Amino acid sequence: MRQGVYQHYKGTLYWVERVVKHSETEEELVVYQALYGEFGWWARPLSMFQETVCINGENIPRFDFLRAQRDAG
C-alpha cells in the first residue's frame, strides 16, 4: 500500500499515511485522513480498504489510488 491520495468510490478524497499493525491481533490497518470537512483521521483494516464493492453490477475498488502528492499541483 503506498502513501498518497485515494478516492473513495462515493467520490470523497483521503490521504493514506501508512499501514500499521494492531497491538493485540497484529491485523494490518490503514491510517488515513479525510481531505474534506473536519479532516478527521481514521483507521480501517487493510483488507477492507483494498476490497472491491459492487455498484450497479460492476465491481470497483472501495478506494482507488490517484496520486502520491497531497496537492494536485
Domains and CATH numbers, the chain: 4-67 (2.30.30.320)
pTM of structure = 0.90
Instruction: Tell me what the mean pLDDT of segment 3-14 comes to.
Output: 97
What is the per-residue pLDDT across 34-67, written as a single tens digit (0 to 9) for each? Answer: 999 999 999 999 999 999 999 999 999 999 999 9
What is the per-residue pLDDT across 24-35, written as a single tens digit (0 to 9) for each? Answer: 999 999 999 999
CA distance 11 to 14: 10
